[in-house]
Amino acid sequence: MAEAYPVWLKREPAHRLRQVGPNLFIGALDSPLATSRWAAVVDLYGSTLGQVRDGQHVVSGTAIPLLQIPFHDGSHFPPGAMDQISAFVRRHRQRGPVLIHCQAGLSRSASAAAATLIRQDRLLAREALRRVRAGAGRPDLPRRATLDSALRWARNR
């Protein structure tokens, strides 16, 4: 039987860390520091905690590949951003857990994860959205413009 997603690891607002698919996690600002086991981190907020050195996020002395594409919550994804995110996640997800995070773990990261689940895991949009929204406590999120731009990308690829 398939594992039921999401699997919550830390519900506190600073983390909102949950697994939404095989080796795919989403979370809030502090989630990169929750563990050093990440195969890679996607930062959509622009303020990854800890050290960043040569495109690597350093947690407890461990260098982790990092992709930073900061943009404002409620905005559309920047041109080409979902292509970069998808390629980065696909490459690193084969090696282990990949975290996509933003400030609150509810809109930018959830939108990117939903589009990734649709394209890479071939989920229906309804199931992808259920996974990224379940238990988050905010039915109004992800924000419409952010989510629509990610879903449009997923449909057009």
d(CA 27, CA 25): 7
- What is the rounded average pLDDT of the residues 125-149? 91
What pLDDT score does 132 carry? 96
Yes or no: say if 20 and 6 are a contact pair by the CB < 8 Å rule.
yes
Q: Are 109 and 101 in contact (CB under 8 A)?
A: yes
Does position 53 have pLDDT exceeding 80, yes or no? no
pLDDT for residue 51 is more than 90:
no
- Cα 50 from Cα 59, distance rounded (Å): 7
Element (DSSP H or E) covering residue 41: strand 40-43
Domains and CATH numbers, the chain: 8-156 (3.90.190.10)
- Averaged confidence pLDDT in the chain: 90
Mean pLDDT in residue range 88-98: 97
Residue % of the chain over a pLDDT of 70: 89
DSSP 43-98: ESSS--SSEEETTEEEETTEEEEEEE----TTSPPPTTHHHHHHHHHHHHHTTS-E
Contact in structure between 24 and 31 (CB atoms under 8 Å): no
Tokens of residue 103, six digits:
């400030």
pLDDT at 1 (0 to 100): 42
- The residue among 61 and 116 whose pLDDT is bigger is 116
For residue 50, the model assigns a pLDDT of 62
**Measured distance CA(79)–CA(57) in Å, rounded:** 24
Q: Which range in 3-17, 49-63, 87-101 is most confidently predicted, on average pLDDT?
A: 87-101
* For range 10-16, the mean pLDDT: 94
- Averaged pLDDT for residues 67-75: 94
Q: Distance (Å, rounded) from C-alpha 26 to C-alpha 6?
A: 10
- Asked if the model's pLDDT at residue 139 lies above 80, the reply is no
- Average pLDDT (55-72) is 80
